Each structure stands twice: as C-alpha cells, then as structure tokens.
Amino acid sequence: MEHVAARAGVSRALVSIVFRGVAGASEATRERVLAAARELDYRPDTRASRLGSSRTRTLGVTFSVGHAFHGDLLESLYTHADAAAYELVLSGVTPSRSEAAAVETLLAERCEGIILLGSSQETAQLERLAARLPVVSVLRPVPGGEVGVVRTDDAAGLRLSVEHLRGLGHRRIAFLDGGRTAGAAERRRGYRTAMRRSPPLTEMVLPGGVSELEGAEAARAFLGIGPRERPTAVAAFNDRCAIGFVDVVRQAGLHVPGDVSVVGFDDITEAGYPHVALTTVRQDAERLGAEVVRTLADRLDSGSPDQNIGTTPAAPVVIEPELVVRASTAPATRRGARS
C-alpha cells in the first residue's frame, strides 16, 4: 500500500479511499492510484482491512461438502452476498469435521453473521450461538425465535406430492422417511396431513433417508410387500432417495410410473435429466439464498452500530415449494402393481 501511495504520489489514506470506493478522491487521482496498483500487482489485504474497520462485512457459512443442494445454495449465496457488499467465508462440514468445529473457525474469523446449511446441531446449541451473533438456519426450522430461519415449506411440499398422486387416482401412497435430517419431521407431518384429508387414506411410512443408498433399501422393503397390498405410489424424502428407489424397483422388473409412481423433493439438477425425469417438489435455491442474505443484511445494517446483539431475527421466512411434474408419475391402474 505504501508503495502504491508513493508511486501514485499520494498518501496511504488516499489509496485506502480509492480501494474502498468511497467518496473523497478526484477521478484523476483515482485512476492514477488504480494504475499504480495494477503495475505493482497490489491488492488490499483483506485480513488487515477487516481488522482496521469496525465492521468485517463477512458472513460465515457452514455446509456439507459434496452435498448437491448445498452447492446450489452456495451459488445463490455468493451472488447475493456480493450484491449486498458482504463477503462469504466457507467452513466445510465433513464426517471428520463437525459442524461445531466449523462454527468455531467462523467465530474466530469474526464473521458478523453465521449461515448454517442444513444444521444438525441441537436447538440449545443454536440458541447459545444466536445469543452471540445473528444466526440463520437454512432448510432446518428452529423453534423459539432466537435463531433466524429460512426454509421451504416442507409440509406444504409433501401435501403437493400427495395431492398430485391422489389426483392421479392413487390410494395407497407410501412415504419414504428422512429420519432425523433437517426438514424431515415437517415433511412427514405434511404427508400425514394430506393423507388424512377426505377421503382419508391409510398412511404408510417406510424408513428412507437422505441418499440413494437408503432409497434403494426402502425399495427392497417395498418389494417385500405382497403385490396386492403394495403402494401404487411413493413420495420420497428427497430426490436422491427417490432415485435410489426407482433404480432398484426397475431392476426388479417393475415399471415406473406404470407400476409405481414416484415423487421426489428438492429438484436437484439430476432430477431434470431426461433419463431420470423425476416428478418432484422444487426447493428454490436461488430464492432461499436471496432471503438468507436479505434477512441477515437487514439485521446487520440496521442495528445500532457495533452492537448487533439485541436485534431479534425476523420471523422465519418460509418459501412455498412448487410441484414439477415429469415422467415418474402416472395415473393409477385399476389393478395396482403389475408383474
């Protein structure tokens, strides 16, 4: 910085002004400084600038590495954080690196707010964290109102699934459960509600899970059911689970959607591939990301300067999902499952 200042013939303070993009430098000087910086291949040290300023304008994000939908969310977060003049610092969660450890590094970075994608921490822990700084839990609802929440209306999503299948004439509709994953309880609840509407249908919850593997296992349980009692349709916890289910069911000689209709959840990229063509409930990653940044930025930018603690989070933001009908669902046949 010193060198750039010298080369441009100005003070260090002026260089700072130019790089922060604030008012206080003439157009001519601004260009001279930028030119000098370019020649010296200089770029401001983010560590130092964050240290110097009262605000770090930094948002920490924990995410599961390799998780497809988290990838989609990150993309949206990057875009909107950038637009709101915030920087993102990522902290990955892996089987050997816990979410708590990931959060710890974010705190040490002095992030102003923390974004947790699909958090698996206990509510009490989240509340303790939220007492220190603004926290928003994405995808996973957190009761109590201390922790900000941005999520899809999971229950409504499953209602869409079930109503769609009902409308196609299905009466035996199973749900492939998601266990303790973020959002699973709500989806299960949505399934139950929809099944109890008139005319009420017999509920059937099969243990499922988050990945293709668990979908495949659920399919084996499904195939173990006698053809006459077998559900003619299945709503899965998510797309990957649905895809694993379809794979195994097809390998067993059944047809999808001829013998069994399947609906997923998320609308991951793969679900839209022509050879997969999964009917699913779309979560809008783009909007989720936008809302996360908006709620956090609102809290941070409005709060009394350097005193974010005390600003309460806005009410949970719940985004309505949308049914995307593709080729994995079809009208129920009279005789139920064939073969």
Give me the least distance between CB of 155 and a copy of itself, in Å please.
26
Give me the least distance between CB of 212 and a copy of itself, in Å please.
6
**Interface residues for a copy of itself in 139-198 (CB under 8 A)?**
none
- Nearest alpha-carbon partner for 147 in 290, 320, 295: 295
**Which residues are CB-neighbours of 283 under 8 A, at least 6 positions away?**
69, 139, 152, 157, 265, 266, 267, 319, 321
| Paired tokens of 208 | 């499922």
- 274 binding partner (options a copy of itself, DNA, none; Cβ < 5 to 8 Å by kind): a copy of itself
Q: Which residues are at the interface with DNA (CB under 7 A)?
A: 1, 10-14, 16-17, 19-20, 23-26, 28-29, 42, 44-45, 48-49, 51-55
Please, where are the H alpha helices in 168-275?
184-196, 212-224, 239-251
H helix count then E strand count, the chain = 12, 12
Measure CA of the first residue to CA of the last residue in the chain; give whole Å: 75
Taking each helix axis as running N to C, give the angle between helix 154-167 and helix 184-196, from 0 to 180 degrees, rounded to the nearest 10. 40
Angle 293-296-301 from CA coordinates, rounded to 5°:
110
- Is residue 251 involved in binding a copy of itself (CB under 8 A)? yes
Tell me which of 9, 11, 39, 48 binds a copy of itself, using CB under 8 A: 48
**Interface residues for a copy of itself in 197-236 (CB under 8 A)?**
211-213, 216, 219
- 55 binding partner (options a copy of itself, DNA, none; Cβ < 5 to 8 Å by kind): DNA
- The two beta strands, 280-282 and 322-324, are antiparallel
- Is residue 273 involved in binding a copy of itself (CB under 8 A)? yes
Using the minimum distance from each CB to DNA, give the nearer residue, 32 or 326.
Answer: 32
Q: List residues binding a copy of itself (CB under 8 A).
A: 41, 43-48, 50-51, 56, 64-72, 74-75, 78-79, 87, 89-92, 94-97, 104-105, 107-110, 132, 211-213, 216, 219, 244, 247-248, 250-251, 269-270, 273-276
